[in-house]
Structure 1
Amino acid sequence: MGAEGRQRQSRLRISGVWKAYGSRQVLRGADLDVPAGALVGVVGENGAGKSTLLQIAVGRMTPEKGTVLRSGSMGYCPQSAVLNDTFTVMQHLRLFQVAYRLPSLTRAHELMELLAFADCGRRRAGELSGGTRQKLNLLLALMHDPLLLVLDEPYQGFDWDTHQRFWALAAHLRDQGRSIVVVSHLLHDLHHFDAVRQLREGRLVTEELTR
């Protein structure tokens, strides 16, 4: 692999992570490895700690024990969209263009077309449906073309067509060598993953896939 290839290599590796809320121990030595070119799913019951795991993965939360290693630029789509309801969709894009230091919004416009909300640019976030807000939430995580994607139930509220478009996009990005981890609660989505890890009693265990 040449210097450029090494520079663009991505990976997420979580090792022996523990996290508690008061007396409630949520993570008990959780391990997760997402190498370049892998699409990995994390599943588990409500309250199992999936969102906590991802917040630790992206550095928004500090574990009590354990390590998190990340390489490559990162895109994070939280479960709840953090949008300014008074801003239009385009104002959000311009704000993140500055934050990401992007020369243009070409990739953002491509994603708007792909996610089927290209006609919403002038609408304020507070006027959008729940599904369209989530499309914007996902777009903001992807518009800088990151190498590592950490997505927490990114397709909440999507109609079936956009849901399928999302998985086609995820597969394409994986095939380009991205590292992608997705929290999912939908059993019919599991076949999209290369590997599925179930969060159970604070640890991640391998979930057998049936193709």
Structure 2
Amino acid sequence: MEYAPSAAQRPAGTSGDAGRDVLLHARGIVKRYGRRRVLDGVDLAVRSGEVAAVVGSNGAGKSTLLKICAGLVRPDKGRVTVAGRLGYCPQDAGVMDFLTPREHFTLFGAGAAMSRPDADRRGRELAARLDWPVARTTLAKDLSGGTRQKLNVVLSALADPEVLLLDEPYQGFDRGSYVDFWQNVWRWREEGRAVVVVTHLLHQLDQVDHVLDLTPATRGARR
């Protein structure tokens, strides 16, 4: 099920599709694992300055769809096109235990052709938006689960990507950090990025531009 809020429901700063480019377009995505078809002809288009939520029951293929959009998993059928740089935050913290967060900033920044000072500055700036003062010497393995996930969110946005794919990125967040996270989502939308968030917290759905429901009983229906 995919739907978009009415004009009255759209969050401030959104004004329809006119003049905004599609930055992420997944068309006819099919993925099977053995005899089980996880995704069956899924479509998703997200424009500049839009936030899309992906919801669904456990095993509905939410994480698989994001991995396909990120280029980490190959679909059996279908095509994904991305305009610009892409940032991906996995559901499970994929950080390296024996590096500090600031060493992560340097490493990931180098992959995006950022200088070491720029990557470190940008990483600490993004961390501050999540109310996380980054210690210089603390190793990733010694971070709490919520702080490790904050590190993942920071790394996904480090190189200012045009497309952000966030797979339940707030795991382990307290209430304040959860609010800070969504404030960042609204900021990214205002900056013209395309943001996709896998979520099971349905009370946020009236604040996004599109919802894609992968629950098998509703998949393919529109309203």
Mapped contact 1:43–1:50 kept (Cα < 8 A):
yes
Which of the numbers 94, 103, 106 marks the counterpart of 1:91? 103
Shift in Å, 1:24 = 0.5
* Residue 115 of structure 1 pairs with residue 127 of structure 2: no
Measure the CA separation in 1 of the matches of 2:203 and 2:167. Answer: 17
Q: Report the RMSD for the aligned CA atoms in angstroms.
A: 1.7
Match of 1:38 in 2: 50
Percent pairwise identity: 44
* Residue 54 of structure 1 pairs with residue 69 of structure 2: no
TM-score by structure 2 length? 0.85
Written as runs of structure 1 = structure 2, the 5 A alignment for 1:57-136 is 57-103=69-115, 104=118, 105-136=120-151
Which stretch has the larger CA shift, 193-202 or 59-68? Answer: 193-202
Mapped contact 2:102–2:123 kept (Cα < 8 A):
no
Measure the CA separation in 1 of the matches of 2:221 and 2:104. Answer: 38
Shift in Å, 1:9 = 5.7
Shift in Å, 1:119 = 3.6
The secondary structure found in structure 2 opposite 1:68 is strand
The secondary structure found in structure 1 opposite 2:65 is helix
Measure the CA separation in 2 of the matches of 1:205 and 1:68. Answer: 21
Which of the numbers 177, 184, 199 marks the counterpart of 1:184? 199
Which stretch has the larger CA shift, 122-131 or 184-193? Answer: 184-193
Measure the CA separation in 2 of the matches of 1:192 and 1:151. Answer: 16
Mapped contact 2:22–2:45 kept (Cα < 8 A):
no
Shift in Å, 1:204 = 5.2
Measure the CA separation in 1 of the matches of 2:164 and 2:37. Answer: 26
Measure the CA separation in 2 of the matches of 1:125 and 1:109. Answer: 15
* Unpaired segments ≥5 residues, structure 2: 1-19
Match of 1:3 in 2: none
Gap change, CA 1:186 and 1:99, over 3 Å in 2: same
AA aligned opposite 2:77 = K
Mapped contact 1:32–1:204 kept (Cα < 8 A):
no
* Unpaired segments ≥5 residues, structure 1: 1-7
The secondary structure found in structure 1 opposite 2:200 is coil
AA aligned opposite 2:189 = R
AA aligned opposite 2:84 = G
Measure the CA separation in 2 of the matches of 1:13 and 1:204. Answer: 16
Measure the CA separation in 1 of the matches of 2:64 and 2:167. Answer: 10
More helix by share: 1
Deviations 1:80-126 (A, max 9, x none): 11111111111111111211111313221111111122243321011
Shift in Å, 1:12 = 0.6
Aligned residues: 200
Which of the numbers 136, 148, 159 marks the counterpart of 1:144? 159
Mapped contact 2:55–2:200 kept (Cα < 8 A):
yes
The secondary structure found in structure 1 opposite 2:93 is coil
